[in-house]
Amino acid sequence: MRRICALAAALLMLFSLAAASGEDGAAFVMAGCDTSEYRRDWNSNLFFARMREQTGVSFSFNQFYNKDDFSAWKQGLTPDSADLPDVLFKAALTPGETRTLYERGVLIDLRPYIQENMPNLWALLEEHPNWKASITQPDGAIVALPLICPIQANNILWVNTDWLSALQMEAPTDAESLTAVLRAFKTGDPNRNGRDDEVPLTFTGMWDLKWLLHAYGIIMNDYGLFCDDRGVVTTPLTTDAMRAGLTWLHGLWSEGLIDASGFTAGESLRRVTDETTVPYGMALSNSVTSYLPSTQVSHYAAVSPLEYGGTAVYRSLLGEVTPGTFAVTCRCSDPAAVLRWADRLYSEEGCFLARSGLEGEEYTLGSDGTWRWAYAGDDLVRKVYVTAVIGDDIPVPGYIPVSYQERYAGDPVVHRQVQQSVMVAEVSRMPCPMVTFTKEEAERLAEIWPPIARYIEYSLTWFVTGDTPLTDETWAAFEAELTELGMPEVIGIWQAAVDRYEEAKR
Ligand SMILES: [Ca+2]
C-alpha cells in the first residue's frame, strides 16, 4: 500500500512538473513563416511573451524566413517526421496543402474542440455560417483556422474628382453615365493643358476589364462562374447580358475611351511618377498608387458600384475569409490548450495585440476612439514592427474587425483608402462562395481548366478589340467551343463543392 502511494506521489510530481513547464518553459513547438524584412525573431518578440502571460501557454519555435523553404518543408511532413511541430502558425497553407496534410494524418480535425475551447471564434462562426462553411473540408472537418477580415483589398474603379469638378459632372451611376463621363474626359481637356492627352480609363488586361461588366449586372469568379442565392452555379459568359456588355466595351474601345495599351503594357509600365501631369481619368486597381504617386490619392474617389436594372452588384475579390493560417498536428498532446491560445486572436484585444501591440506602449488611443502608432520612422520599425507585433504579408490567424481599420488615424492616405474600401464592400459579394475541393475534383480542374481559361481570355479580348466581330455566328461559335472544351464539367465540379458548402452552413 505504501509503495503504491509513493508511486502515486511520484506520478503526481511528474504531472505537476509537466504543468509547470506549461506555465514557464516551452510546452509546445510552433512552426511558421515570417517574411518581415527586418528578420523578426519570434523567441524575443513581445507578442509571444504577452500571449504567454495572458494564456499560460508557451512555445518554442521553428521559424522560417522564406516562404518557398517553408512550403517545401510543410509538404514533406509526415506523422513520424522528427521535426513535426505541435502547431503551424502563420501557416500559409494552400487548400491543397491543407487537404494533403490532413489526409496524411499530419493535421488533425479541430472541429470537436472549437465550441468548448474557442468561444470567440465559435461566436463568429455561429453568427456567420458562410465563414464556417468556407473552412469546412469535404468530409465536414475543420483542419485549418482562418484569418477573418471583412475589408480586404479589392479591384476598385477610381475616378479623378478634379476632372469631374472641372467638367461639372457627377460620378457615373450606370453604364450610360460612365460612357458620358469617359467621353467628356477624352474631349473636354479636364487637365486644362490645352492638349488631347487624357486617357479616360486605364486597366490591365481582360481580367481588369471584366470588372466593368458589373454595369451589366455581371460578376464572375476566375472560373467565369456565378452562384445565385439558391446555390445554383452557372456561367454568365454565354448570357445575353454578357453579349450586351461586350458590345458596350467594344464601343468604348473603338472610341478610344479605354486605354489603348491596356491589353499590352503591364501596370508598372504605365505607372506615372510625375507629380504634376496626371493622364488618367479612371483606373481599375486595388489602389490609386498602382498607377500614380501617393500624393494623388486624395484626388481620386472610388466609384460607387454602377447600377443595372435598379440594383448594383460588385465582385468581392478575396471575400472575408483567408483560410489556412493555423493548424494543429497529430503530435500535439493538448489541442485544447493551443486552441485556447489561438482563440485570443479572434477578439478585438487579440487583433490589436498581434498587429498593433499594447495601448500606451506601441500605440495610443485618442479620445475619439481612433488609434495611431506611438513611434514614427526608424523607431516604428525597431520598437514595434521588429519587436512587438507579427504582421507582414503572411496572414496571421484571427479576426480583424472593420472598426480596427476604420479607427486607424495615423495616415490620411490609408484612412481614405479604408473609407473607400468600406463603401465598395457594402455592395460587394463573392461571385461563388469560397469552397473546398476533394483531391479528385482539384486534380480534374487542374487538368481541364487551363486551356478553357486561355480560350476565354483571348475570346473576350478579341470581342472587345473587334479582332473577332461580335455577330450571331461568332457568338454561337464561342458558346459551342466553351462546351467542347469542358465548361459544363467545370460547372459540375463547382456545383458539387457548393452543394457541400450549403450543407456545411446548416
Ligand atoms: Ca489635356
Quick check: do 26-151+320-421 and 155-315+437-506 share a fold? Answer: yes
Put residue 156 in one of left, alpha, beta given phi > 0 → left and psi -120 to 50 → alpha: beta
- Reading the block at residue 73, the C-alpha cell is 518543408
For ligand 1, the distance from its centroid to the CA atom of residue 195, given in whole angstroms, is 4
pLDDT in the model for residue 4: 39
Cell triple for residue 235? 456561367
How far is ligand 1, taken at its centre, from the CA of residue 163, in Å? Answer: 10
Q: What is the pLDDT of residue 2?
A: 37
Low-confidence ranges of the chain (pLDDT < 50): 1-24
Pick the CATH number of 26-151+320-421 from 3.40.50.300, 3.90.79.10, 3.40.190.10, 3.40.50.980: 3.40.190.10
Architecture in CATH of 155-315+437-506: 3-Layer(aba) Sandwich (3.40)
Q: Which residues contact 155 (CB under 8 A, 6 or more apart)?
A: 208, 211, 284, 285, 286, 315, 317
Per-residue pLDDT at 287: 86
Determine the distance separating the centroid of ligand 1 and the alpha carbon of 414, expressed in angstroms: 29
Q: How far is the CA of 168 from the centre of ligand 1 (A)?
A: 16
How far apart CA 9 and CA 17 sit, in angstroms, is 12
- pLDDT for 37 equals 80
DSSP 8-state class, residue 1: -
- Residue 217, sorted as left (phi over 0), alpha (psi -120 to 50) or beta, turns out to be left
Q: What is the pLDDT of residues 65-87, one digit of tens each?
A: 999 999 999 999 999 999 999 99
Distance 278 CA to ligand 1 centre (A): 9
256 alpha carbon – ligand 1 mean position (Å): 15
What are the residue ranges spanned by the domains of the chain?
26-151+320-421, 155-315+437-506
Q: What is the pLDDT of residue 26?
A: 65
Dist. CA 421 → ligand 1 center (Å): 29
Predicted TM-score of the model (pTM): 0.86
Per-residue pLDDT, 256 = 96
Indicate the pairing of strand 226-227 with strand 233-234: antiparallel
Residues near ion ligand 1 (CB < 5 Å) are 189, 191, 193, 195, 197
